[in-house]
Structure 1
Amino acid sequence: MTDFDGLVAVVTGGTYGIGAATVAALQSRGAIVATLDTAADCDKTADLPLTCDVRDPVAVDAAVATVVDRFGRIDILVNNAGIGATGDVTVNADDEWHSVLDVNVVGIARVSRAALPHLRRSPAASIVNTCSIAAQIGLPQRALYSASKGAVAALTLAMAADHVGDGIRVNAVIPGTADTPWVARLLDAADDPDAAGAALRGRQPIGRLVSADEVAYAITYLAGPQSASTTGVLLAVDGGVTGLRLAGAPPMA
């Protein structure tokens, strides 16, 4: 498919996992893709890989300006950069709260703010934010992370209302537990990685983790011209976790 021909996309956190899969999916459909990432090995498969920390407004403004200088436009913004946290409210210190919220929530605002003047000039403008099922269901030992993703869900809807008049669609994907490097690190740190992995797979009605490619396909759908009437949507790609309660299924944990 070439429905993204001529469109320029910016993907934050584009080096690994869902971000990398999104870069590949957008490129496969004709988009030109720039990535903003702090990774030292910032994704070299992107058309324009840029090292950028979304916590730094000066770096964000400079990166967005570089994209426009190179390609002349921005049509799509995928706010995927994020960091995780574990523990209940007694575990995470204030500094960690500030850091996670700065990346996961304020980072979306910073990059969107920088891109908005260019998106307003696009005939196919779209913003897609990466949220999480942690925004919608109570997960143990995820207080800080859940709070940040709950804010992403609310921010997505508010942005959709604010910018529909500008011709900019704003949506979010809500992945379930996905097969990503972050989840792999969590499993590696578990006392019994095999049992922890089985528990994660077992809590999803489809019986497996969501793949990064599956989330990327949903992001690409929301970003693309074929979803021109879709805005203010939180699209679950969660293996049935949110909506299904099957007899005999293991409890959420």
Structure 2
Amino acid sequence: MLRRLGAVLLVALVVGAVPGPTGADTWPLESRNEGAPATISLSQSGRSAGVPLAGRVVVIDPGHQLGNHRFPARINGQVPAGGFTKPCNTTGTSTNGGYPEATFAWQVSRLVARRLRDLGATVRLTRHSNRQDRWGPCVDERGRAGNAIGADLKLSVHADGTYAAGARGFHVIAPPDRAPWTNDIFRPSRRLAAAVKGALLSQRFGVATYIAGGDGLDVRSDLGTLNLSDVPTVMVELGNMRGSDARVMTSAPGRARYTRGLVAGVRAFLG
């Protein structure tokens, strides 16, 4: 089902900072580029070798929030997730040494956002902080993020935390062909997933050893972040924080490699 807003998009391009419930870190709060005006220009002019992504709009969704564990009532509240309800959010996982998934996702997402902005893109983050006194945003807000502004794509950044023996590697999750929710975006989302996978492989990351199929790609219909999107979207689990991947995730050079892979995947998809 095509749910995009068409001509109404231009009205929604100026997005204000709307306060949410106390402690909530909500999508509208990250509605501006740092140091840039809130109005999004969709002009394709100005693209060059120096700014190849000029006019492109990318949403980056750093998974979870550092303070989610302090707000159990909030994050366990049920929200729409695409024909059913799910808890607002979860705490995420961590390495055995205590390095949180929320922090990893935040650090990588910020690096990706910075590089994409350097390349000329307008970038929106679904949360604007990584703090113990904040929670959310809920998966329904994350799922809709980018719809009203007509984003070119949305990338949700996560990591896994399985204790399965030898579990390591990344996988990219795309939505299925599921009417009336994702049947309009599943084809471009599959292309985005393939582009991200190829780019991560080029950075010498291996595909997940613990996901059925073993090709680094997965399709799921149970994720509100994917189900509620009207723009091409994928969720990437960059590795297993409870296994050998933790050594890469906790290092600045490792996070820089993840960043290069994700940026290259975005660029490949956007052509």
What band does the TM-score fall into relative to the shorter chain?
A: 0.3 to 0.5
If each structure's helix is expressed as a fraction of its own residues, which one has the higher value? 1
Q: Output the TM-score relative to the length of structure 2.
A: 0.37
